[in-house]
Amino acid sequence: MTDPFQAFAARASRRAVLGGGAASALALGMGREAIAATPAAPAPAAPGGGGQSAVIDVNRARAAPIPIAIPDFVGGDADAAQLGRNIASVITADLGNCGLFRPIDKQAFIQAAGQGIDPSAVPNFQNWKVIGAQALVTGKAESVGGGQVRVEFRLWDVLPQTQIQGTAYTTTTANWRRIAHIIADVIYERLLGEKGYFDTRIVYVAGTGPRDRRVRRLAIMDQDSANNRFLTDGTWTVLTPRFNPTRPQIAFMSYANQNPRVYLFDLGSGRQSVLGDFRGMTFAPRFAPDGNSVIMAVSDGGGSDIVTVDLASRAMRRLTNSGAIDVSPCYSPDGTQIVFNSDRGGDQQLYIMPAGGGAAKRISFGVGGSRYATPVWSPRGDLIAFTKLGGDTGNFSIGVMNPDGSGERILSEGWTVEGPTFCPNGRVIMFYRETPATSASGAGYSARLVTIDITGFNERVVVTPTDATDPAWSPLGA
């Protein structure tokens, strides 16, 4: 079970035998607009062809992404038809970009793509089989009045000629992208056996202006770069935003009033407040898995220490007191352990200690003077991602290792790559990549968000309107 791929595949296989077509009601919160999900009306009985199912494990999917046909969703009128086209295109982008699906070019469709396929009818499976589709998505968008839209979709398994899923969603028309992401997540889960990560957002730091007078603003966007907006106005430098896993809240560091401290940002109200009036600089916050406390670093003495702050009482509890720099703490997903960065052994390395503090065990042992930083525990618990510095080239790299320090794999390298964050299912890591200035004016410097599969494949730049650093991935549905 040391190979994360095998672990993922094992889970996927286990899930894949479930099959069936029942829709589940989705609990969607995090201070966002409600979306109601209901099972779609039963489709006429599909013939059932007995062919090989599109439901496969991810291990095979790496070699061969699942070919999937996603014709435009049909619409009752011109507006609904446009919405149907838009929804199909967002689903197509989500599934194509993740690297585990291969959306089939609409030009190859035998049935006219522009007309869409009414989801209430059983598809002509032969038309999809001959173009190589293993899965087919059909859907319909219709206005139901009051600014609300109802979107129905069905997922079909082409070779066995069966319906895998049928669900209808109702929400405001303006919220249509979210429905598309939710549908993409359902398709991902039904075909790969693991929850998806498309209905998620990214909070990050947007950077503008010259490097010596950089303006840094908190920004948030959907994981596909849509709906970007800025949460702070740039008056004060902000750093390292992180999502609360259970509430619509972000912890971040702000230099407000020239007093660098950890703040909370409430996504519902837009209000920010200081976490507590503690002595010294507080920084590097992350939430506990239950969302009820923040773990962070405080520098109020010689180095910096790891502390937790309970969100209800705002009481601080110190977990380390080494005199060294102890920084960048992150809980294991079960909340029992903390991985953190420390130079207590002479240079920056990764350590693990019990959640209550106590004896720490070093887990990183870079050869050739490599240093390790920014550890973050996978939501699946099986990997710790990190930034590695130094080595032969002086470049930085992003990698993963097992929590006992074994099995290190480098995923990406560059002049500066830093700050990994996992998507909710642990399958993809986002980080930021900077290019060096090539002149004394700072020209040539850039900062971009990047995603990469934990297998090291499918590295992609994430589009942002400005330079971007410090990404943090939201929980699913947040």
Partner 1 sequence: MNIKILGAFAAVALLAACANNTGASNGSGATAATSGPAPGSEEDLVANVGDRVFYAFNKSTLSGEARSTLDRQAAWLAKYPQVNVLVAGNCDDRGTEEYNLALGKRRANAARDYLVAKGVAASRIQTISYGKDKPTAMGDNEQAWAQNRNAITSVR
Looking only at residues 339 through 398 of this chain, which bind partner 1 when binding is defined by CB under 8 A?
A: 341, 343, 347-348, 373-374, 387, 389, 394
- State in angstroms the smallest separation of the CB of 231 from partner 1: 18
Considering CB under 8 A, how many residues would be counted as binding partner 1?
Answer: 46
Within 193-222, which residues bind partner 1 (CB under 8 A)? 210-212, 214, 216
Q: Are 200 and 223 in contact (CB under 8 A)?
A: yes
328 scored as a contact of partner 1 (CB under 8 A) = yes
Q: Report how far residue 341's alpha carbon sits from residue 343's, in angstroms, rounded to the nearest whole number.
A: 7
Residue of 27, 45, 78, 440 that binds partner 1 (CB under 8 A): 440
What count of Cα atoms within 13 Å lies in the side-chain half-sphere of residue 9? 15
| Binding to partner 1, residues 217-246 (CB under 8 A) | 237, 239-240
> According to the binding rule CB under 8 A, does residue 299 interact with partner 1?
yes
Please, what is the minimum distance in Å from the beta carbon of residue 422 to partner 1? 17
- Which pair of tokens denotes residue 27? 């609990």
Shortest Å, Cβ 383 to partner 1: 19
Q: Tell me how far, at minimum, the Cβ of 450 lies from partner 1, in Å.
A: 16
Return the C-alpha torsion angle 212, 306, 278, 314, nearest 10.
Answer: 120
Is the CB of 142 or the CB of 418 nearer to partner 1? 418
Provide the 3-class DSSP secondary structure of residue 14: helix
Among 149, 284, 363, 450, binds partner 1 (CB under 8 A): 284
Among positions 72, 224, 418, 453, the unique one binding partner 1 when judged by CB under 8 A: 418
Least spacing, CB of residue 282 vs partner 1, in Å = 10
Shortest distance, position 432 Cβ to partner 1, whole Å: 10
Query: Quick one: CA torsion of 118, 124, 125, 126, rounded to 10 degrees?
Result: -150
- Of the candidates 14, 441, 446, 465, which one interacts with partner 1 according to CB under 8 A? 441
Within 13 Å of residue 212, how many CA atoms lie on the same side as its CB?
4
What's the min distance (Å) between Cβ of 392 and partner 1? 15
Place of tokens 């670093």: 297
Instruction: Give the residue with the Cβ less far from partner 1, 341 or 455.
Output: 341
State how far the Cα of 13 lies from the Cα of 194, in Å rounded to an integer: 9
The CA distance from 227 to 243, in Å, is: 17
Under rule CB under 8 A, residue 125 binds partner 1: no
- For residue 10, the surrounding DSSP H or E stretch is helix 4-16
User: Alpha-carbon distance 348 to 44, whole Å?
Assistant: 62
CB of 185 to partner 1, least distance (A): 31
Type and span of the H or E element at 91: helix 78-98
Between the CA of residue 256 and those of 204, 300, 395, what are the distances in Å?
18, 18, 33
Measured distance CA(187)–CA(249) in Å, rounded: 28
Which residues, other chains included, contact 274 with Cβ-Cβ below 8 Å and sequence gap of 6+? 256, 261, 262, 263, 264
Asked if residue 135 binds partner 1 (CB under 8 A), the reply is no
Residues that bind partner 1 (CB under 8 A): 210-212, 214, 216, 237, 239-240, 253, 258, 260, 281, 283-284, 297, 299, 302-304, 325, 327-328, 341, 343, 347-348, 373-374, 387, 389, 394, 415-416, 418-419, 434, 436-442, 445, 469-470
